[in-house]
Amino acid sequence: MARIFVTRSLPGRALERLADAHETEVWPDRLPPPRPALEERARSAEGLLSLLTDPIDAELIAACQELRAISNYAVGVDNVDLAAATARGIPVGNTPGVLTDSTADLALALMLGIARRIVEGDEFVQAGEWVTWEPGLLLGHDLHGATVGIIGFGRIGQAVARRLDGFGCEILHTSRSGGVELGELLERSDFVTLHCPLTAETRGLIGAEALRRMKPSAYLVNTARGPIVDSEALRGALEQGEIAGAALDVTEPEPLPADHPLLGAPNLVVIPHLGSATHATRERMADMAVDNLLAGLAGERMPYCANPQVYGEAARA
């Protein structure tokens, strides 16, 4: 029976399976364990089930001499030093594919929400200002028939495109395998939606220059990773009317402090990283994360492994 540390309670009953098989400690608080607590508990753990908010860096991995398996409750592994884990022969699991449709649904919800001014409308009613129907009240823009630029055309980007087909949209996309140039996409699109991974190349991809190339009537949506967008540049673009609005599920930093300058920008909707936040998706993610950890601790190949080099396999392109 191995010692396992789980950095937060998870939806569903997957952790019960883990506790039946191994000595399992679950961090009891709503917020992530502070660094000293994470180090203390991980140091004696053989298995670690982490969240995207937990920095599983090279220093932590080096300090955890008993560690044999890491399972990240996320598709991305930005928070895990894969090179350090691989050098130690530690497999790192993730939860790919499961949140594709839920995130694609949310991307469309954000497009409609910002363009049709749904949040503003709710606030208007809640404030008691709705006293009559008005022809010019809270006019927005249509999604149907719009040109939508999808940056990153992997599983989620393609799922977004399938949904937009029902809206009669023209789809432009960029990807490593084809599509249009980024500049053309920015200039032609009524909506720009981000679905690329966070890499050295995509960090800050949507900065001041990119935002200036967008139409003044265009909207930016980000359900990918916060650092892909330069927060200060976005604030400036919104304040100066360079774009019509933005809807963000992810931010840089994350979470945004309540006094962050970006939150004062006009025509902005920010939600707290809800891309996978449905009962079914989050419970399936928990099952996948536990499956990874159980396999890794049993010396078996993780079913969803982010560093297959530990098994002598090449990484997927």
Burial class (CB in 10 A: 0-12, 13-18, 19+), 37: middle
pLDDT of 313 reads 76
Give the active site residue among 163, 213, 273, 301.
273
Cis peptide preceding 255, ω within 30 of 0: yes
Question: Is residue 141 annotated as a catalytic residue, yes or no?
Answer: no
Q: How far is CA 155 from CA 64, 72, 73, 174, 256, in A?
A: 34, 19, 18, 13, 27
Q: By percentage, how much of the chain surpasses pLDDT 70?
A: 99
φ, ψ (nearest 5 deg) of residue 120: -60, -40
Tell me the CA distances in angstroms from 301 to 2, 97, 253, one per residue in order.
17, 18, 35
122-158: pLDDT as tens digits: 999 999 999 999 999 999 999 999 999 999 999 999 9
Residue 240 φ then ψ, to 5°: -90, 0
Does 170 participate in catalysis according to the annotation?
no
Q: Smallest Cα–Cα separation from 18: which of 303, 214, 298? A: 298
Q: Which tokens sit at 133? A: 């129907």
Residues of the chain within CATH 3.40.50.720 domain(s) are 3-97+279-311, 100-270
**CB burial of residue 241 (10 Å; 0-12, 13-18, 19+):** exposed
- Among candidate residues 225, 235, 282, 284, the one labeled active-site is 225
Q: Specify the pLDDT at position 15.
A: 98
Q: Are 243 and 214 in contact (CB under 8 A)?
A: yes
Maximal CA-CA distance, the chain: 68
pLDDT of 317 reads: 45
Residue 314 pLDDT: 67
Q: Is 162 a catalytic residue?
A: no
**Four-way CATH pick for 3-97+279-311: 3.40.50.720, 1.10.10.10, 3.20.20.10, 3.40.630.180:** 3.40.50.720
3-state secondary structure of 192: strand
Whether residue 244 contacts residue 219, with contact meaning beta carbons closer than 8 Å, is answered with yes
Q: Which of 254, 260, 283, 301 is catalytic?
A: 254
Q: Are 115 and 269 in contact (CB under 8 A)?
A: no
| Separation between Cα atoms, residue 172 and residue 188, nearest integer Å | 9
CATH number of 100-270: 3.40.50.720
Q: Which residues of the chain have pLDDT under 50?
A: 317
Letter string b/e over residues 47-61, b meaning 16 or more CB atoms within 10 A of that residue's CB:
bbbbbbbbebeeebb
- Find the helix or strand (DSSP H, E) in which 47 lies: strand 47-50
